[in-house]
Structure 1
Amino acid sequence: MDIATEENNAKGRYAATLDGHTGEMTYSRSSPRLIIVDHTFVPDALRGKGVGQALAAHAVDEARKGGWKIIPLCPFMRAQVARHPEWQDVTEA
């Protein structure tokens, strides 16, 4: 599964495409060191295929590489952070 990053000014999106369908996780950059993940969408055709999990893990990997923190405003991302205590180094409650 390929995950692309799109960023325009203070808004961004991670997009995962699989089998011709695209899931997305959107975020806002509130500072150079902080993003707010505000929305995750996975179309019905991709449910149960790990797309949402892959997007969340990608966001964490990008935060580690970029040296920033994530505020998980999105309920899906918040639930993923709760399930992955190893992500605490890049997340803020």
Structure 2
Amino acid sequence: MGLDIRHLAAAHRFETTVDGFVCELDYHLDGGVMTITHTGVPEQVGGRGIAGELVRIALETARREAWKIVPACSYAQVWMQRHPEFDDLRA
């Protein structure tokens, strides 16, 4: 998709800007467990797969860092159900 997704580790956030709109994924990190709490994409840029890319990048980061995942955000829960290749990351 070619999005410039940035990991703002100090803010516990992944974000990208699309057509001037900020899209984000927020998480908490505790003891090597990343809890995804929110995925937000403004409706003006919705339907382009942006939220899915945010989740994918977050999970790839978790895999690299050896973190486990708790998808507390409903979007992240559904995304993970549709992508069983990330099941090994579930806390």
Fold match (TM-score > 0.5): yes
Unaligned runs of 5+ in 1: none
> Quick one: distance in 2 between partners of 1:40 and 1:58?
12
Q: Greater share of helix residues, 1 or 2?
A: 2
1:2 matched to 2:9: no
TM-score normalised according to structure 2 size? 0.91
Per the alignment, in what secondary structure is the counterpart of residue 2 of structure 1?
Answer: coil
1:47 aligns with 2:46: yes
Matched, 1:91 2:90: yes
**Which residues in structure 2 correspond to 1:1-93 (within 5 Å)?**
1-8=3-10, 12-31=12-31, 33-92=32-91
Number of residues of Structure 1 aligned to a counterpart in Structure 2: 89
Structure 2: 5+ residue runs without aligned partners?
A: none
Matching residue's letter, 1:81: M
Q: Alignment identity in percent?
A: 31
State the AA in 2 paired with 1:57: R
The CA deviation at 1:77 is 0.3
1:52 and 1:28 map into 2 onto residues whose CA distance is 18
Between Structure 1 and Structure 2, the one with more strand by share is 1
